Amino acid sequence: MRQQIVAGNWKMNKILEEGLELTRAILEKVEKPSGLVVIAPPYPYLRELGKMLKVRKHFHLAAQNCHQEEKGAYTGEVSADMLASVGCEFVIIGHSERRQYFKEKNEVLAAKVNVTLARGMRPIFCCGEPLHIREVDTHVGYVAKQLKASLFHLKEEDFKKVVIAYEPIWAIGTGRTATSLQAQEMHHAIRVLVAKKYGKIVADATPILYGGSCNAQNAADLFSQPDVDGGLIGGASLKAEDFAAIVAAMKK
Ligand code: PEP
């Protein structure tokens, strides 16, 4: 079976004490996950949380973003090198909020993917269409363009480390989840695209996560789809009980 992953993206939520408490509660509630559990807290807590996660098998630390340049005069930014040095193993890249609010374009995201891989971390690359694209039924082509522009320049050995997260923008934080069939349709289409570029063996091994109002109630249905390999979770990752239930819904 492909690697299954549930990743929690805390976004800009929780002060340090709350984050530590949430992590303690998650570690207590999640006993033997059937796949990887990834937690992406805000930057200032990475090191401390990383120490807590490190002692537990299957738990991994992620950053929510990184800068595309290696280093230099970029006040307020954080490099891939820095993230690796505090124990990050994954970096979320191309989240729709970064694309929307920080105007991150496909080319910049390709550079972020490159620096992440160059520092030995794995990108969790987000793709997904806005509502108006879904409504005119061009969502597969839209996502294909995102993948081609930001990932398909990679050599096979690098691409193998990538995790893809399909996150329809109309489902993020809206309470409106894609149906499991809509998710499966897109995940399958993504896998076919990857197979065309890198071959079937690589495509079959690529984890493709679903994100967008995934919660304790709908996770099992979404994750039961053959091409859905877990989830990237926003809101529901902020409650230990809900997050643990989502982790428990991973394929066994
Ligand atoms: C996300 O932001 O990646 C996400 C999936 O958010 P939510 O689960 O809150 O929709």
With a cut of 90, say whether residue 31 has pLDDT above it.
no
Confidence grade of residue 220 (pLDDT, cut at 50, 70, 90): very high
Which residue minimizes the CA distance to atom 8 of ligand 1?
Answer: 234
User: Which residue's structure tokens are 């859905």?
Assistant: 228
Enter the pTM of the model.
0.97
- pLDDT tens digits, 33-77: 999 999 999 999 999 999 999 999 999 999 999 999 999 999 999
Q: Provide the pLDDT for residue 59.
A: 98
Cβ atoms of residues 60 and 84 within 8 Å:
no
Cβ atoms of residues 99 and 143 within 8 Å:
no
Positions marked active-site: 95, 167
Q: What is the best residue among 232, 237, 238, 246 to mutate for testing ligand 1's pocket, by most ligand atoms within 8 Å of CB?
A: 232
Q: Is 229 left (phi over 0), alpha (psi -120 to 50) or beta?
A: alpha
CATH number for the domain spanning 140: value is: 3.20.20.70
For the ranges 17-31, 126-140, 171-185, which has the lowest average pLDDT? 171-185
- pLDDT tens digits, 96-145: 999 999 999 999 999 999 999 999 999 999 999 999 999 999 999 999 99
Total domain count for the chain?
Answer: 1
Other CB atoms within a 10 A radius of the CB of residue 141 amount to 11
Structure tokens at 205: 């091994």
With a cut of 90, say whether residue 209 has pLDDT above it.
yes
Question: ∠193-199-201 over CA atoms, to 5°?
Answer: 115
In Å, what is the CA distance from 1 to each residue of 53, 91, 250, 252?
24, 23, 12, 9
Q: Which domain holds residue 210?
A: 5-248
Distance 128 CA to ligand 1 centre (A): 12
Residues 6+ apart with CB under 8 A from 102: none
Cα separation, 144 vs 157, in Å, equals: 21
- pLDDT tens digits, 93-106: 999 999 999 999 99
